[in-house]
Copies of this chain bind each other. A is one copy, B any other.
Amino acid sequence: MARQKILVLGGGFGGVFCAKHLQKLLGKDHDIELVCENNYFVFQPLLPEVAAGTINAEDAVSPLRALLPGVKFRMADIRRIDHANQRVYVMQGRKRVMVPLSYDQLVIASGQQVDLSRFPGLQEHALRMKNLADAHRLRNHIINCLEHADVTHDPQLKRRLLTFIVAGGGFSGVETTGEMEEMLTRSLKFYPNITRAEIRIMLIEYLPRILPELPEKLADYTALQLKKRGIEMLLGVGIKSATGTMVETMDGQRLETATIVATIGNGPSQLLKALPVELERGKLATDSFFQVKGMERVWALGDAALIPLPEDKDGKPRFAPPTAQFASREALCLARNMQCLLTEKPLKPFDYKPLGSLASIGAYKAVGEMFGIKLSGTFAWILWRTFYLGMLPGGMTKLRVGINWFLDYCFPRTTVKFKQWSEPSARYLRFAQGDIVFYPGQIPEGFYTIVKGTLGVTMKGPDGQQFIKTMGKGEHLGERELLGQIPGQPSATTGAVTALEETTVLVMDRKDFRRFTKVFPALEQYFEEYIESHYPEYLKPVPIEDPQQKIAN
């Protein structure tokens, strides 16, 4: 068979292990490429420990390139799957250029997205626990609350700063609550004006019990343990809405808080929604070989996929649950099926019986079930750590996490609070005479306003002749792409934009610009008028050109 290009989207459990197995089985005869917006793999179950400061963010992750020798790796945002032409459009590099990647076989392992839009205010005010940045942010937020509560003289504000609410009683919510309690309690010795009695930690779950993944007996044990440690549980109660100072529950309680952690609300990503197939339960429906129904040459696994398992005894359909254990087993089975396909052997349906599941609840305790045996307490916790250390890919990461655990056991928890590492969103750029500000086809990273100097835009006149339009102080660029076109589609700028003399521009980040222009009437009106007078052709559909033709990047 001719050399095939196998493209894997996503660097989570499913994607990474699938690429690894594919490389092993097929790497000699075919090309495997993995695309992910981050260049590292993060072991999702450890996120609560990162949020609680047990493990450093930098130690909880493994570089993908080191994990995947032989696999071509590309750090890029995945923007659009053009299935008809067997291409994936990604945005890569410092200059944000759109690059099309062609494929013969496509593996989608890009997971799900958090969607909190059903709960007014939660989208705006809730912290999440989905990725490493979320965990890091939660940790800094908690320490910020302690720092502020230690110096404020306002009792109401202090109470609010010291109330911590977690929404969702699944694995992620329970682990986060437990770890958070341990962190808060252990940090108190450094905050002389805060006592444990002033701290309120609450777990809110819509179902009448926590940990639906585990038997009821273990859930009860966990609830008892958490209660003993002073954690309040609100079960059978949904969250209705939130603001920056409180959470409102379905039964009308208003809980004042500065910290809401949402572990609820998983939904499909924009990438999946844009595909020409109907999603089932917000996921890509596959057959039992991982092939996406209705899309040839496309496979899916992990949280993004709805994978059938053999029916249960009563003939009811079953599907693979979205856990790390399943994802890593799916990865192996998918890779083998891909090999079967390429070597024209029959494919094998997926089935897997998990070993069990364990949840750490902080303070050296865990709960779970292994090989059908219920486990709880310190022994389960040691098993949990051993098991997870085993699952962690990469020897270096295992060692680093192990050292973190050891240090955390021996020493007080660190209470360092990092500033956000961010640049201000609006930043100045300087161009020397002759510098290219935009390449043809380049997606502007934001809205450009000229502070001083002159830019020249290469344009085509109605007679087909090229000419240079000059722009000076106060004039701006990028509004068309930012306000009108579908995100991720190449801009219709005719040609390059060049600095005709030394020029400084202010760039406002695209997301900020869009949000601000949308809600601020003076700006909205200004751009409406501006676009009407400057781009009368604006409402006509713009043909998408293949950017590969124009730029090499």
A65 adjacent to B430 (CB under 8 Å): no
Known contacts A148-B93, A424-B512, A516-B426; decide if A153 and B553 are in contact (CB<8 Å): yes
Q: Which of A136-179 contact B (CB under 8 A)?
A: 136-137, 143-145, 147-148, 150-154, 157, 161
Question: What residues of chain B lie closer than 8 Å to A476, measured between beta carbons?
Answer: 520
A75 adjacent to B417 (CB under 8 Å): yes
Question: What residues of chain B lie closer than 8 Å to A124, measured between beta carbons?
Answer: 427-430, 504
Question: What residues of chain B lie closer than 8 Å to A421, measured between beta carbons?
Answer: 133, 136-137, 418, 420-422
Question: What residues of chain B lie closer than 8 Å to A425, measured between beta carbons?
Answer: 424-426, 509, 512
Q: Which of A22-50 contact B (CB under 8 A)?
A: 37-40
Q: List 22 A-B contacts (CB under 8 A).
A: A39-B415, A40-B417, A56-B56, A56-B58, A63-B416, A75-B147, A76-B151, A124-B428, A132-B418, A152-B552, A152-B553, A154-B552, A241-B430, A396-B407, A396-B411, A420-B423, A421-B421, A428-B515, A449-B519, A474-B519, A506-B519, A522-B522
B516 adjacent to A416 (CB under 8 Å): no
Q: Which of A517-548 contact B (CB under 8 A)?
A: 519-523, 526
CA distance A553 to B123 in the complex (A): 28
- Residues of chain A at interface, number, CB under 8 A: 102
A515 adjacent to B426 (CB under 8 Å): yes
Interface residue from B407, B419, B430, B515 paired with A120 (Cβ < 8 Å): B430
User: Is A280 at the interface (CB under 8 A from chain B)?
Assistant: no
Question: What residues of chain B lie closer than 8 Å to A157, measured between beta carbons?
Answer: 553
Residue of B nearest to A139 (CB): B58
User: Is A246 at the interface (CB under 8 A from chain B)?
Assistant: yes
CA distance A144 to B551 in the complex (A): 20
A414 adjacent to B241 (CB under 8 Å): no
User: Is A243 at the interface (CB under 8 A from chain B)?
Assistant: yes
B508 adjacent to A58 (CB under 8 Å): no
B508 adjacent to A516 (CB under 8 Å): yes
Question: What residues of chain B lie closer than 8 Å to A209, measured between beta carbons?
Answer: none
Question: What residues of chain B lie closer than 8 Å to A191, measured between beta carbons?
Answer: 65
A417 adjacent to B153 (CB under 8 Å): no
